A and B are shown apart, each in its own frame.
Chain A
Amino acid sequence: AQSVTQLDSQVPVFEEAPVELRCNYSSSVSVYLFWYVQYPNQGLQLLLKYLSGSTLVKGINGFEAEFNKSQTSFHLRKPSVHISDTAEYFCAVRGRYNFNKFYFGSGTKLNVKP
């Protein structure tokens, strides 16, 4: 089985500042990694995913994440945040051969202040 730890439950940041949301995972097998965003009263929207290849993955809305196998991390970054980025962000992992059974972290609430 896999598990995900998101150490920061809340991250406050001022508009136009950079941000990093941390994600660490645990797995005994090769994994695929994902970041999802959830706006209030909505479902989850995929930001980006790492399947293989380059460890630096670029997603929508200017977000990017870097897969670090030795540190079992997949941190999400954005160089300059906007008010509209205020939402909850979830890191997820699935085993490479596990038919889309996803394990999610507990989420990080990003609060962008003007």
Chain B
Amino acid sequence: DAGVTQSPTHLIKTRGQQVTLRCSPKSGHDTVSWYQQALGQGPQFIFQYYEEEERQRGNFPDRFSGHQFPNYSSELNVNALLLGDSALYLCASSLSEGGRDYNEQFFGPGTRLTVL
């Protein structure tokens, strides 16, 4: 049973460009959350998707947007990249309606984004 997977592993972009990161949740999970982890910091909540809609959002600008597909996978899009967007982007999946994994989040290995 595959856990949470993310692609790509690493990405290098220049300022002003746009980037799309992808996440496949753990089998059976229906909720995907995205976090930004800057160097030396803890993960910061960006937003969460459930039933293909953004359910909650952290303190991030509108340049950060996302999408959830019918198979529960998700994308994170960042427009007009800034140097400060360089970070490890973590995807976490969970179950919103009860079950063994309820109340837990399972994290993927992350995508390392470098903005030059």
- Residues of A in contact with B (beta carbons under 8 Å apart): 4, 6, 32, 36, 41-46, 49, 51, 90, 92, 98-107
Contacts and interface: CB of A to CB of B under 8 A. Distances in A.
A104 B42 contact: yes
Interface of B: 4, 31, 33, 35, 40-45, 48, 50, 55-56, 58, 90, 92, 94, 96, 103-110
B91 to A, nearest CB: 8
Given A43-B110, A44-B90, A49-B104, A99 B48 contact: yes
Contacts of A51: 103
B42 A106 contact: yes
A106 to B, nearest CB: 5
Nearest to A106: B42
Contacts of B104: 46, 49
B42 A43 contact: no
A106 B41 contact: yes
Nearest to B94: A100
Given A44-B43, A44-B90, A104-B42, A99 B103 contact: no
Nearest to A9: B40
A104 B46 CA distance: 12
A105 B42 contact: yes
Contacts of B31: 99-100
Nearest to B95: A100
Contacts of A107: 40-42
Contacts of A102: 33, 35, 43, 45, 92, 105
A96 B67 CA distance: 26
Contacts of A6: 42
A49 to B, nearest CB: 7
Contact of A100 (B40, B42, B96): B96
